[in-house]
Amino acid sequence: MPVLDRDPSKDLGDLEGLPKLPLPALKDTLDMYLRCMKHLLTEEQFNKTQNLVKEFGAPGGVGELLQSKLMERRENKANWVYDYWLNDMYLNNRLALPVNSSPAMVFPQQTFRAPIDSLRFAAHLISGVLEYKTLLDAHALPVDYARGQLAGTPLCMEQYYRLFTSYRLPGLDRDTLVAQESTVMPEPDHIIVACRNQFFVLDVVINFRRLNERDLLTQLDKIVKMADSEEEELPPIGLLTSDGRTEWAESRSVLMRESTNRDSLDMIERCLCLVCLDDASGPQLSDSSRAMLMLHGGGVAKNGGNRWYDKPMQFVVGADGCCGVVCEHSAFEGIVLVQCTEYLLKYMIGSPSKLVRAASVSELPAPRRLRWKCTPEIHKLLASSADKLQRLVRNLDINVHKFCAYGKEFIKKQKMSPDAYIQVALQLAYYRCHGRPVSTYESASIRRFQQGRVDNIRSATPEALAFVKAMTDGKLSTSDKEKMELLQSAITAQTKYTILAITGMAIDNHLLGLREIAHELKLEKPELFKDEGYLISNQFILSTSQVPTTVEMFCCYGPVVPNGYGTCYNPQTNHIIFSVSSFHESPQTCSAEFVDCLVQTLLYMRDLCKRCNSASNPNEQRKGQALDSQTQTETNWQNKTPQKHSELSKNQQTVPQVLVNTLDQTKVEAQTQTSSQGEAHTLQNGSKS
């Protein structure tokens, strides 16, 4: 299969008319870098960083040389940063995909009264997948358009065409994103069904006819019966895909020695997607436990081996109604996952299942069980993978919370961007928990450009820190009016940086490009990129993403550093769903404590807004007086010692892991497009929420 390094515009035609990603001026990026980092470093660290930046950007220096080479690259490539970004974000990373990289979308809890009900759901879902694939094949999917700032700009659709035609191939040093090309070989006409850790080929086109739901149900029923046959049960080979990428690459090379295994791998790697029929996972499931089951399958004892993590789309249908989709993230952003899954759920709601019962007798050929020849060496590798997955399962601490006090409607009434407001709340909540600001990642889509993926909104702004300090310093002399002004300043700063990011002028992709072009030119790594400040800047202890949906579901993912939080949020009209993850092994983090701080923060920010609004509106004064009774409670909260304060400096300067989770931001585009002058108008016209 060919490597996905060609210009997709040659086959898709989706890039026509889209501008190329701009290249920011070197001075602008270096100045912004210093501004972003000054308040996150000690004075000594910052002085060193400042000197290195000055040296790097000096006239005739290495920075100017690298910038000129990047300008040449921009002329010759559809997107100058795409390959660098893809390798740095995903393919170079050696961590296991579950939890560390692959996000999951958790569907509403289903009620299956009998085993056949879950198979009906799966058959209906597969039917929706085939409908969606038909739209993709015909290039009939409507083009997405930007909303908010620069509304109406068409967006790059390239990522959609990788949903069912790509595969992440493990490598010893770097993975490869491969893609099927119909000009080279026929499009795959099968999906892989995982059941009881066994894998089955389900042909969805037989004799040039697409299977209907009745046929799909018949075949799924056969698969379940085949999986129940203990004498034919094979080892849970899928566990190998949950291992570190180098370990899985080594295991795959061992598997490839046998022709039987090569054939089975080929069928999996060329399939449209996986459908994982999971066993029930025990007692009644909470949102948090369902999120964990989606991210890692519950480990070896549950459904951890009933997966193949290299495939972009794995639809999970649990016998207990725990359903969702796990995605391999290198091929596309969260927006594509949201759009696809929303289409499927709406298809299933709007197109009632055409099933009455499964046909008792069918002329369809039976699905094929994939065979594996397992040597003692492979059994040993499986045991090792199983142990590591269990450690990952035990380590993940996830807390899914539905905040019901208010949602984006209240925030919009304050003439504030919901996304910027929530980002400032996250800064305050983290500071309450840990007593310090930290480098923060929020993904921003750059799909308005050819092959656009994402850049980073650096939410830990100096303005956010000023607001946070005013809210936590315990000084009763700081008036509500002053706090409100600081909040509005923080939201304005967040919004301005967001606009920089979505228009291709943020700093992270640019700095990455400068670093990588130096490596390509075989230059010694510039001192700027060896600097402790640079390492801290890329240690994203808060990895955040807004993933709003129009149907009931939520997204979740793991932290990107050992002492960090993964924080995904879904703002709805009158509530906000938060999915907060961390690792139990870190003494610094606790998802439940962070959620508690976040809830208190959101309540306090609401009350601040209400008090300030009532102060400026005499008709609201009586309502404002009703909040007076809360003031003492808020003061107590304000003066509360941060829960992790004693360890606030521990590991602050550890070298970051390379991986940064990046889920796309919005239903149509990842952006908080609200300007400080026209927020109300912009929000009305479809800002980030």
DSSP 8-state class, residue 239: G
Burial of 609 (0-12, 13-18, 19+ CB in 10 A): buried
Alpha-carbon span 265 to 131, nearest angstrom: 26
Among candidates 353, 395, 257, 334, which has minimal Cα distance to 102?
334
DSSP 8-state class, residue 331: S
Alpha-carbon span 493 to 502, nearest angstrom: 14
Alpha-carbon span 457 to 464, nearest angstrom: 13
The token duo for 63 is 């920075």
Alpha-carbon span 119 to 12, nearest angstrom: 35
What does residue 667 show for φ and ψ, rounded to 5 degrees?
-60, -40
Alpha-carbon span 676 to 409, nearest angstrom: 18
Burial of 215 (0-12, 13-18, 19+ CB in 10 A): buried
Q: From residue 398, give the alpha-carbon distance in Å to each of 553, 580, 684.
A: 16, 6, 34
Alpha-carbon span 26 to 66, nearest angstrom: 10
Q: Give the pairing type, strands 205-206 and 209-210.
A: antiparallel
First to last CA, the chain: 39
Q: Taken in order 214, 218, 219, 221, is the CA torsion positive or negative?
A: positive
Question: Are the C-beta atoms of residues 371 and 569 closer than 8 Å to each other?
Answer: no
Residue 581, SS3 per DSSP? strand
Torsion angle of alpha carbons 324, 329, 332, 334, nearest 10°?
50
Among candidates 82, 440, 97, 129, which has minimal Cα distance to 275?
129
Residues with catalytic roles = 329
Q: From residue 195, give the alpha-carbon distance in Å to each of 223, 229, 319, 524.
A: 8, 11, 11, 51
Alpha-carbon span 167 to 272, nearest angstrom: 10
